[in-house]
Amino acid sequence: MEHHIGSVEVITGSMFCGKTEELIRRLRRATIAKQKVQVFKPAIDNRYNVGKVTSHAGDEFEAQPIQAAREILAALEEGATVVAIDEAQFFDDEIIRIVQQLADRGLRVIVAGLDTDFRGEPFGPMPVLMAQAERVDKLQAICMVCGEPATRTQRLVNGQPAHYNDPVVIVGAAEMYEARCRQHHVVLRG
């Protein structure tokens, strides 16, 4: 009889740190190991390809876009052993319960998402997912100002730092965001 112990892995960090690349790497390894993999992503993330998770470097893996976390349970296929969720910060807190439920069923759940928003504040359900995970990998990018390790996501509006009161969720890539270190991360206030 096969024995599966469920677990939660979180891959996190700023934009451009390689979260999705690492997610895809783990999914490819699971596929090579003949594990049945299912991947979900928020439908709001339409930057590259709606039916795939895609890294900024161009790596891709088939994924099912969903509007709400509860759709994962309805779409889960028989025999799935690995469930991956990309851009988890865009889901509401229901994702926390669903991730725990999947792990409790014996599945390996791999979650990728931003740990902080452009303000440098915890982003959506990610802090709780990180706290409850068996494994957390926090990746770093490279600061676009000084070249030091970057842990922050800088939002730019017409080339200038965004204002604190701007909307938290604006989907974009290199045209709107940069990786920055703590020293060079700027959020306008007042």
Structural contact between residues 151 and 187, judged by C-beta atoms closer than 8 angstroms:
no
Collect all residues with Cβ–Cβ distance below 8 Å to 168 and sequence separation of at least 6: 117, 118, 119, 123
Residue 57: both structure tokens together: 């470097």
Which one-letter DSSP state was computed for residue 188?
Answer: B
Q: What is d(CA 136, CA 114) in angstroms, rounded to the nearest whole number? A: 12
Structural contact between residues 90 and 124, judged by C-beta atoms closer than 8 angstroms:
yes
**Is 2 considered catalytic here?**
no
Q: Is 167 exposed, middle or buried (CB count within 10 Å of its CB: 0-12, 13-18, 19+)?
A: exposed
Q: What is d(CA 154, CA 119) in angstroms, rounded to the nearest whole number? A: 8
Q: What is d(CA 38, CA 108) in angstroms, rounded to the nearest whole number? A: 11
User: In this structure, are strands 152-157 and 177-180 parallel, antiparallel, or unpaired?
Assistant: antiparallel
Q: Of 87, 121, 175, 178, which residue is the catalytic one?
A: 87
Catalytic site positions: 87
